[in-house]
Structure 1
Amino acid sequence: MAELPKTSSVPVVRADFGENVVWERVKVEIAEPTEEGFGADVEFVEDRTLNGLSEAVIANSYPHDYPHRYRHPVLFVVDTIAASTSGHPVLVINLNAWVDAEPFRALARQVQSIQNNLSLANMDYLEFARSTDADGIFRGF
């Protein structure tokens, strides 16, 4: 089971260590405010134990145990797929014990929307998960 740092911000976990320039680019895409001026309240962390693991293994490394074990109901992971695909579709993992939902992917530029809306309870995880395209990627509403 993977450990998350105790942060006040939602973790964005690096799970691909192929190229530092890609990691830095994804961090900029996530941290940059949206056109409406919204920023993501996230903390970037690295976890080399996840390097090279599949999406399923990474997702299963984090049990649905919010609010008991985790401070946040969601986790973003920059894995090999995110690092090597246009738009950097990060893996979005549900941690909420009361929500039965599979992970999905979201473009890095959509992390702000997801994080902001979940933290304000404007929307829930399922609304984003159900709004993915045919390829399983959330590109916005």
Structure 2
Amino acid sequence: MAHLPETWCVPVVRADFRDDGIWERLKDEIVSPTEEGFVAGVEFVEDRTLIDLSDTAIAAGYPRAYPHQYRHPVVFVVDAVTVSLPEHPLLVVNLSDRDEAGPFRTLPRQVQAIENNLSLANMDFFEFARSAGPDGVFRGF
């Protein structure tokens, strides 16, 4: 089972270490305000135990511990797929023990919307998951 990092803000976990430049660009893009002025409340962490794991293994490894044992409803993961694809879609893992929706991917510029809405309980994880495209990537509503 993957270790849930103790962070004040929603974690963005680095699980692929092949390209420091992409990691830095993703961090910059995620913390940049949206056109509407929204900012993602995230904290960047690194977890080398996730190297070379598939997205399925990563998602299955995180316990569904929110809200009883964990303070965040979701974790974003920068894995090998994120680094290798041109749009750099992050893996979004549901941590809620109340919502059965499975993981999906999102563009870096959508992290703000997902984090803000889930952290405020304005929307549920499944609303984003079901709005992902046929390729499993959420690009916005």
Instruction: Please tell me the TM-score bracket, short chain as reference.
Output: over 0.9
TM-score scaled by structure 1?
0.97
Aligned to 1:121: 121
For 1:38 and 1:6, locate their aligned partners in 2 and report how far apart those are by CA, in whole Å: 24
Structure 2 partner of 1:76: 76
Question: How far off is 1:69 after superposition?
Answer: 2.4
- What is residue 29 of structure 1 aligned with on the other side? 29
- Where 2:77 maps in the other structure, the secondary structure is strand
Q: Deviations over 1:73-124 (max 9, x none)?
A: 1010000111111221000000000111110000011000000011111111
CA RMSD, Structure 1 to Structure 2 (Å): 0.8
Greater mean deviation of Cα atoms: 131-140 or 66-75: 66-75
Which deviations, in whole Å up to 9, do the C-alpha atoms of 1:3-23 show, x marking residues without a partner? Answer: 122111000000001011111
Unaligned 5+ runs, structure 2:
none
Secondary structure (helix, strand or coil) at the match of 1:93 reads strand
Matching residue's letter, 1:39 = V
**Aligned equivalents of 2:52 and 2:19: distance in 1?**
13
**Which runs of 4 or more aligned residues in structure 1 lie more than 3 Å from their structure 2 counterparts after TM superposition?**
none
Structure 2 length-normalised TM: 0.97
Quote how far apart the aligned CAs of 1:68 are: 2.4
Equivalent pairs counted in the alignment come to: 141
The whole-number CA distance in structure 2 between the counterparts of 1:97 and 1:75 is 14
Partner residue, 2:96: 96
CA displacement at 1:29 relative to structure 2: 1.1
Stretch moving more, 123-132 or 66-75: 66-75
2: distance between equivalents of 1:38 and 1:77?
21
Query: Alignment identity in percent?
Result: 64
* Secondary structure of 2:133 counterpart: coil
- Cα deviation, 1:8-61, whole Å, max 9, x if unaligned, reads 100000000101111101111111110011010000000000011100110111
SS in 1 for 2:126: helix
Letter of the aligned partner of 1:35 in structure 2? E
In structure 1, give the amino acid aligned to 2:70.
Answer: Y
Gaps of 5+ in 1: none
